[in-house]
Structure 1
Amino acid sequence: MRQSRQPGPPLTAFWCERVVYETLGADSRTHTSRCSRPNPGEAIRAIRVDVRAIKDTLAPAERERALRWTGPGGSVGAVAALYRGEPCGFSLSSEGRWIEWTVRPYLAFDVSDLSLLPRAS
């Protein structure tokens, strides 16, 4: 007989979203991407990588703001907010679009295959 293992305690994980809006329309959402990261550092790193990937398409003022935020110490406040259990975000305007990144803590539960019910025969 297979022995069931109890699911582990809930763990805090971090839900990341990037939403792109057309600024010329009435806030029409054009693209949404989502992922989960295991800790605040990884969540903010995902945003920083994304922002750096588009920096060359930004107007000079937005590029400067993006480089400050992705540079050394620029996103420390965002990481600190996540460690306190608070959501955080960053947004930019790029080529007629508004791009918004948000991260929110959530409870993730361990649901391994050992904790599932056995198959009925």
Structure 2
Amino acid sequence: MRQSGPPLTAFWCERVVYETLDANSPVHTSRCSMSTPAEAIRAIRVDVRALRDTLAPAERERALRWTGPGGSLGAVAALHRGEPCGFSLSGEGLWIEWTVRPYLAFDVSDLSLLRAAEAP
């Protein structure tokens, strides 16, 4: 049996939206995997920018600082070090959290799978 390739670091991204009055039950959750720290943080930055006009002035300022030049550099650096990172905002009665965690992804594209035994 051929072995799969070496494990690669990938980045698990989650966006969870909560109602601010009930932070225990998410309203919406989305997840994806990205290949690089830059891709993962870029996805969050795009999402945050899309929300900026719905935010209160203080949160809008925080969002613009984080999505602006160098604002998310610490998050990219944390992912390169193998550490998780995140960002959160509140607006329109919602609390939104973005998190990114490194994980090991295995390339199994060339892995030979065992055939199932045929029934007698």
Relative to the length of structure 2, the TM-score reads 0.91
Q: String of CA shifts for 1:67-93, please: whole Å, max 9, x gaps.
A: 000000000000000001000000000
The answer on 1:115 being equivalent to 2:115 is: no
Give structure 2 stretches of 5+ with no counterpart.
Answer: none
SS at match of 1:85: coil
State, as a whole percentage, how many aligned pairs show the same letter.
Answer: 82
Instruction: Work out the CA distance in 1 between the residues paired with 2:42 and 2:84.
Output: 15
- The structural deviation recorded for 1:95 is 0.4
- Output one character per residue of 1:85-120: Cα deviation in whole Å (capped at 9) or x when no partner: 0000000001000000000000000010x3132656
Q: Deviations over 1:23-66 (max 9, x none)?
A: 12253211110000001000100100110111111111101100
SS in 2 for 1:115: coil
What's 1:77 paired with? 74
Q: Which runs of 5+ in 1 are unaligned?
A: none
Q: Does residue 4 of structure 2 align to residue 7 of structure 1?
A: yes
Q: 2:28 aligns with which of 9, 24, 31?
A: 31
Which secondary structure does the structure 2 equivalent of 1:27 belong to? strand
* Equivalent residue pairs, number: 117
TM-score, normalised via structure 1 length: 0.90
Please identify runs of 4+ aligned residues in structure 1 that moved more than 6 A.
none
1: CA distance between counterparts of 2:23 and 2:99? 21
What letter matches 1:102 in structure 2? T
CA distance, structure 1, for counterparts of residue 69 and residue 23 of structure 2:
36
